[in-house]
């Protein structure tokens, strides 16, 4: 995050605007909408900017900028086309620890002005950190079409009931659930359709209900996919945004975690070889305990929760305790990582079947059905096979798979750190040892790996 977003209360507060042309006028409009008093300094000032100054009883100074113009101001904006003057204003403001914005000069700014969607009191700000203002404006245009102007009226109605809701519900969780019910239910629909009185009647009825006790919670078992947050399902994203507490694994990417509701409690329960933040039995019981407290619990796993994710073990205990739960599939690593590496798992010319295999068994070995796995007409995908890679390759060769069988080791697939190592069964262990590879990885064995060079399309930034 290059900039920390904040919203300033500028009502009746003095703001310095240096410049009198079109750019300064646009800045003046925004400041005026926020109720600011404008102190405009420029030799020539547009007629519209003059009117904006008069609207909130501001100040007009038709002359060159002086350092004293910063006196009593809470922010400063330099909107001139004179580079040396803009630098002067920026230096003066910084010396006073006064927030300053210099139009189209991010290096001189201590704050930037975002693209804004105004549904007052609901305000949405979009920023590219000054790197691409045009992109921020394009995104704003897209959102403008998705967010009706009536959302502002809905926010006003909610605000008018805020104190009464706070008095009715003692704790934050109860209040949040009440508002989620209101803002996603009939009251919201009525308000968005202009039926304010009917909407307020629904809110009043809900508040008056005697039974406001917290009901039993629910568990959402959600697959977070292989890493790229854009691979999440819409349902997964919706549940991630409404959960009260999140239990997440090591394989859940940072980008996916960024989409979890900000104020949700987060509990790390990740596991790696010989290092468990929490034993599986304790995770299972914690899901039950939290749900019985009335929490909406998100169990967020990398990939798909039912493919080597132990999701089945977790919901077994939930079912035994009559805890409601939902399961949301995720794109498993085999599908996601192979696609991003340009390796189709099946192909008419190379492989007529594919098998997903765990490279790390409960007994901590790789004692698998090797004669079946050695079939050359199938693709093998090994999960958690990095530590046992050499043993896997030797076992396949020993049971008849050709040492020259193409293989791929994919590290951190679908992310900007993705790396794909191509070799054969005989040499891959040495290639991995020479390249300092770290989990998470996926190991693909089969003739389909030959297609990587011609079909690779994903080009990470590194």
In order, the DSSP letters of 194-229 are: T-HHHHHHHHHHHHH-S--PPPP-EEEEEE-BSS-G
- CA–CA gap between residue 223 and residue 332 (Å, rounded): 8
Cβ neighbours around 89 below 10 Å, total:
28
Q: Which two tokens stand for residue 207?
A: 């508040």
| Residue 215 among known ligand-binding residues | no
3-state secondary structure of 36: coil
- CA–CA gap between residue 271 and residue 253 (Å, rounded): 14
Does the CA dihedral 75-125-51-35 come out positive or negative? negative
Cβ-Cβ contacts under 8 Å for 327 (sequence gap 6 or more): 221, 305, 306, 311, 315
φ and ψ at 83, to 5 degrees?
-60, -45
Cβ-Cβ contacts under 8 Å for 330 (sequence gap 6 or more): 222, 223, 224, 225, 231, 232, 233, 236, 301, 302, 303, 304, 305
Q: Which two tokens stand for residue 199?
A: 């909407």
| Residue 43 among known ligand-binding residues | yes
| Residue 333 among known ligand-binding residues | yes
Q: What is the 3-state secondary structure (H, E, C) of 283-294?
A: HHHHHHHHHHCC
- CA–CA gap between residue 372 and residue 57 (Å, rounded): 84
| Residue 226 among known ligand-binding residues | yes
In order, the DSSP letters of 133-149 are: HHHHHHHHHHHHHHS-T
| Residue 430 among known ligand-binding residues | no
| Residue 22 among known ligand-binding residues | yes
Find, among 4, 3, 7, 242, the residue nearest to 120 by Cα.
7
| Residue 21 among known ligand-binding residues | no
Residues marked as catalytic: 249, 271
| Residue 413 among known ligand-binding residues | yes
| Residue 44 among known ligand-binding residues | yes
Scan for tokens 């329960």, then name that residue.
Answer: 269
Q: Cβ(59)–Cβ(35) under 8 Å?
A: no
Can you count the helices (H) and strands (E) in the chain?
18, 19
- CA–CA gap between residue 295 and residue 336 (Å, rounded): 31
- Binding region for NAD(+): 22-23, 43-44
- Binding region for S-adenosyl-L-methionine: 226, 302-304, 307, 332-333, 384, 413
- Binding region: 22-23, 43-44, 226, 302-304, 307, 332-333, 384, 413
């Amino acid at each position: 995050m290059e900039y920390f977003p904040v919203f300033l209360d500028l009502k009746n507060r003095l703001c310095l605007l240096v410049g009198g042309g079109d750019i300064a006028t646009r800045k003046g409009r925004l400041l005026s909408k926020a109720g600011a008093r404008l102190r405009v300094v420029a030799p020539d000032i547009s007629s519209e900017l003059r009117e904006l100054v008069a609207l909130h009883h501001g100040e007009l100074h038709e002359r060159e900028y002086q350092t004293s113009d910063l006196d009593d101001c809470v922010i400063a904006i330099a909107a001139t086309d004179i580079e040396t003057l803009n630098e002067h204003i920026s230096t003066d403001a910084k010396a006073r620890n006064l927030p300053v914005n210099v139009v189209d000069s991010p290096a001189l700014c201590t704050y930037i002005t975002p693209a804004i969607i105004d549904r007052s009191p609901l305000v949405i700000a979009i920023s590219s950190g000054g790197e691409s203002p045009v992109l921020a404006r394009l995104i704003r245009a897209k959102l403008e079409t998705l967010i009706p102007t009536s959302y502002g009226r809905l926010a006003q109605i909610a605000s008018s009931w805020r104190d009464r809701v706070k008095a009715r519900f003692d704790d934050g969780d109860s209040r949040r659930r009440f508002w989620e019910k209101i803002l996603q239910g009939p009251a919201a629909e009525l308000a968005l359709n202009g039926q304010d009185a009917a909407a307020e009647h629904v809110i009043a009825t809900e508040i008056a209900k005697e039974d406001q006790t917290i009901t039993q919670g629910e568990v959402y078992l959600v697959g977070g996919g292989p890493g790229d947050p854009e691979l999440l399902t819409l349902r997964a994203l919706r549940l991630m945004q409404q959960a009260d507490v999140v239990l997440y694994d090591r394989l859940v990417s940072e980008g996916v975690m960024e989409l979890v509701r900000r104020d949700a409690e987060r509990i790390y329960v990740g596991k790696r070889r010989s290092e468990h933040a929490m034993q599986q039995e304790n995770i299972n019981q914690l899901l039950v305990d939290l749900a019985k407290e009335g929490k909406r619990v998100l169990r967020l796993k990398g990939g798909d929760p039912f493919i080597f994710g132990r999701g089945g073990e977790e919901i077994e205990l939930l079912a035994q305790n009559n805890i409601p739960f939902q399961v949301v599939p995720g794109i498993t690593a085999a599908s996601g990582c192979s696609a991003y590496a340009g390796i189709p798992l099946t192909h008419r010319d190379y492989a007529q079947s594919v098998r997903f295999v765990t490279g790390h068994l409960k007994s901590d070995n790789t004692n698998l059905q090797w004669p079946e796995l050695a079939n050359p007409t199938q693709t093998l995908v090994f999960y958690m096979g990095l530590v046992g890679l050499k043993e896997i390759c030797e076992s396949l060769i020993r049971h008849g798979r050709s040492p020259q069988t193409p293989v791929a080791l994919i590290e951190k697939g679908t992310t900007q750190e993705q790396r794909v190592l191509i070799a054969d069964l005989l040499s891959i262990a040495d290639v991995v040892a020479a390249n300092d590879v770290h989990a998470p990885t996926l190991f693909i064995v089969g003739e389909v790996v030959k297609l990587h060079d011609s079909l690779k399309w994903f080009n990470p930034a590194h």
